[in-house]
Amino acid sequence: MKLNAMLLVLGAALSINAYAQAPIVIKFSHVVATDTPKGQAAERFKQLAEKATNGRVKVEVYPNSQLYKDKEELEALQLGAVQMLAPSLAKFGPLGVKEFEAFDLPYIFPSKTALYNVTEGEIGKGLLKKLEPKGITGLAFWDNGFKVMSANKPLHSVADFKGQKMRIQSSKVLDAQMRALGANPQVLAFSEVYQALQTGVVDGTENPPSNMYTQKMHEVQKHVTVSNHGYLGYAVIVNKKFWDGLPADIRAALDKAMKDATTFEKAIAQRDNDMALDAIKKAGKTEIYTLSVKEQAEWRKALLPVQKDMEGRIRKDLISAINKEAAK
Ligand code: LMR
């Protein structure tokens, strides 16, 4: 065999061997604490993925905005600086996929079953597909929960919101929601919320209890209203080029690990939020108030029109398709 050909074969063998030795690294960045539904599921995915691939894949989880804050993390994913994220569904608008803000519409999901009808059905699949032109592949929907409102004054009636500066995620629907209540919406990165509440840059905010408790927001908020007026959940996404470039057996093993981590995540989400609300109560620094039936009706009257107002942005047919699916 000619020397050149032998060198070529040797070179190829060496690089295959080098490739086989160096694990494929998945940097999984997110903005919440580890002891949250998303934080725990990211760790679970790490364990499952590394086990299923016999160490050929190494998952590095970076919680608490250690690597990137909200806006930056999506840019970093598109650039391939990180391989995996699980941003809130409220944060896809700036990426140009406004339809994801449908998940922010007040009272659009009467229950978790209604939510899963949408995320696990054709609507969910269709929404994830819309990410591909952005160089992103959607793998799964992860759950957090229904949101509570908080401030340093009681928020019982709609009138209580008047003039309150309320922190929101970067969603036009949430902006409209707060304005419909008479409040002033302020978009802030998640990692900046605690300090903004502490210093009075904002008066209040909304989030599921697990985020409120693990970020210690309750320590700087005297009042929480259990309103369940809206939902917060996630899409687990990867850099498309990275994902398509994986060996087929590795991708199949990661898909399975993601499915199992997703089942785990959905199983702990409600439990974690219930435990967090209890812990906020036990901490004794925050008054927990649950809306009366009459007050709920007043909030609904003020907030349901947001669905109509957002038809231009989110598409009327999508909103009615979600309402139909959620009503099943
Ligand atoms: C927020 O910014 O309030 C949430 O999206 C944070 C998260 O990822 O749960």
Site to substitute for ligand 1 among 31, 34, 71, most atoms within 8 A of C-beta: 31
Query: Measured between alpha carbons, how far is residue 201 from residues 132, 181, 189, 213 in Å?
Result: 37, 19, 13, 20
Query: Phi/psi zone of residue 215: left (φ > 0), alpha (ψ -120 to 50 degrees), beta?
Result: alpha
Q: Is the minimum distance from the CB of 211 to ligand 1 under 6 angstroms?
A: yes
Please report the atom of ligand 1 found closest to the CA of residue 205. Answer: 3
* Mean pLDDT (whole number) for 319-325: 96
This prediction's pTM: 0.94
Distance 190 CA to ligand 1 centre (A): 6
Q: What is the DSSP letter of 111?
A: S
**Stronger pLDDT, 328 or 299, i.e. the higher one:** 299
Distance 210 CA to ligand 1 centre (A): 10
pLDDT tens-digit map of 150-190: 999 999 999 999 999 999 999 999 999 999 999 999 999 99
Q: Is the minimum distance from the CB of 214 to ligand 1 under 6 angstroms?
A: no
Q: Which helix (H) or strand (E) holds 262?
A: helix 248-283
Which strands make up the sheet holding 231-239, listed edge to edge?
A: 57-62, 24-29, 84-85, 231-239, 136-146
Strands (E) in 14-155, as ranges, are 24-29, 57-62, 84-85, 136-146, 148-151
pLDDT of residue 14: 60
Residue 319 to residue 293: CA distance in whole angstroms: 26
Which strands make up the sheet holding 184-187, listed edge to edge?
A: 184-187, 165-168, 204-207, 148-151, 223-226, 287-290
Residue 85 to residue 314: CA distance in whole angstroms: 23
Residue 32 to residue 30: CA distance in whole angstroms: 6
pLDDT at 232 exceeding the cut of 70: yes
Q: Which residues pair with 60 in a beta bridge?
A: 27
Q: Is the minimum distance from the CB of 119 to ligand 1 under 6 angstroms?
A: no
- Between 19-33, 60-74, 108-122, 194-208, the lowest mean confidence (pLDDT) is in 19-33
Please return the burial class of 172, using the count of CB atoms within 10 Å of its CB with bins 0-12, 13-18 and 19+: buried
Report residue 303 as tokens. Answer: 């907030």
Distance 294 CA to ligand 1 centre (A): 30
Query: Measured between alpha carbons, how far is residue 103 from residues 6, 213, 229, 235, 322 in Å?
Result: 59, 22, 12, 11, 9
Closest of 111, 98, 52, 31 to residue 260, by C-alpha: 52
Closest of 134, 73, 51 to residue 98, by C-alpha: 134
| Percent of the chain residues past pLDDT 90, beyond the cut | 93
* Mean pLDDT (whole number) for 193-204: 98
Please report the atom of ligand 1 found closest to the CA of residue 234. Answer: 8
Distance 130 CA to ligand 1 centre (A): 21
- Three-state secondary-structure class, residue 261: helix
Site to substitute for ligand 1 among 34, 100, 190, most atoms within 8 A of C-beta: 190
Angle of helix 122-129 relative to helix 316-326, nearest 10 degrees?
140
Mean pLDDT score of the chain = 95
Q: Is the minimum distance from the CB of 164 to ligand 1 under 6 angstroms?
A: no
pLDDT of residue 16: 56
pLDDT at 25 exceeding the cut of 70: yes
pLDDT of residue 8: 72
pLDDT of residue 5: 80
pLDDT of residue 20: 59
| Residue 56 near residue 24 (C-beta atoms within 8 A) | yes
Closest C-alpha residue for ligand 1 atom 8? 88
pLDDT of residue 12: 66
Residue 135 to residue 133: CA distance in whole angstroms: 5
| Residue 96 near residue 134 (C-beta atoms within 8 A) | yes
Q: For strand 136-146 and strand 84-85, is the pairing parallel, antiparallel, or unpaired?
A: unpaired
pLDDT at 121 exceeding the cut of 60: yes
